[in-house]
Amino acid sequence: MGLLRNKHHERDPLWHVQLVLVGVIVLQLLLPARLIALPKLLLPAVEVLCLVVLQVVTPRRPVFDSNVRRIFALALIALVAVANATSLQLLLQALFTAGKADAPELLSSAVAIYATNVVVFALLYWEMDGGGPGVRRANKDDENDFLFPQQQVKVKWFPTFTDYFYVSMTNATAFSPTDTLPLSRRAKMIMALQAFLSLLIVVIIDAREINIL
């Protein structure tokens, strides 16, 4: 468990992002065809391509400012977000005509969409906070979008993607921030949107599926 210790990283580890995104791609491939608008392999293939390019264009130093890296990071986030939003819409439509035999498949799909939603917002927080990896390490505290508890202690510590994944997970389950506080208005609005979408998936969709069962 040494890899998950709360230690200082010389630079934001990209493999954290890659590992989670591979999980998202697997979830997309496991979704039934009727909940995918495009050809099933198209988006996962493009996402893998973006991951490879992101690996190549990300500078190997703690502080950097790369417009090319940022474009590919935002494109990757947009691809995953659009794919998940489309699947959520198709799932809502399917629920109105679903029978008891469809309930297990739709329930597992709702869990996959919920998990992907957590990853989408984690990626967005990671790329948004203080200008994203590389840039935020050169920022003053008042230029960041989030305040982590560790930043209030005078130690050499910077958040990595794992920390933003935790923020996204707690916001999706508690429908509110926990120990990490949003500082900017955009962070507050995006967290509010995530809480609403999570509530929609958990309460409305799952309630309907349980009613079908």
The pLDDT tens digits of the residues spanning 22-61 come to: 999 999 999 998 889 888 888 899 999 989 999 999 988 8
Domain count, the chain: 1
How are beta strands 181-182 and 146-147 bridged, if at all? antiparallel
Q: Averaged over 131-160, what is the pLDDT?
A: 82
Residue of higher predicted confidence among 14 and 168 = 168
Establish if 116 belongs to a structural domain.
yes
pLDDT at residue 1 above 60?
no
According to DSSP, the residues that pair with 181 across neighbouring strands are 147
pLDDT at residue 175 above 50?
yes
Write out the two tokens for 163: 């920390």
Q: Averaged over 172-180, what is the pLDDT?
A: 84
Establish if 63 belongs to a structural domain.
yes
Predicted pLDDT at 7: 61
Q: What is the pTM of this model?
A: 0.89
Write out the two tokens for 136: 């935020």
Domain that residue 153 falls in: 11-212
Establish if 2 belongs to a structural domain.
no
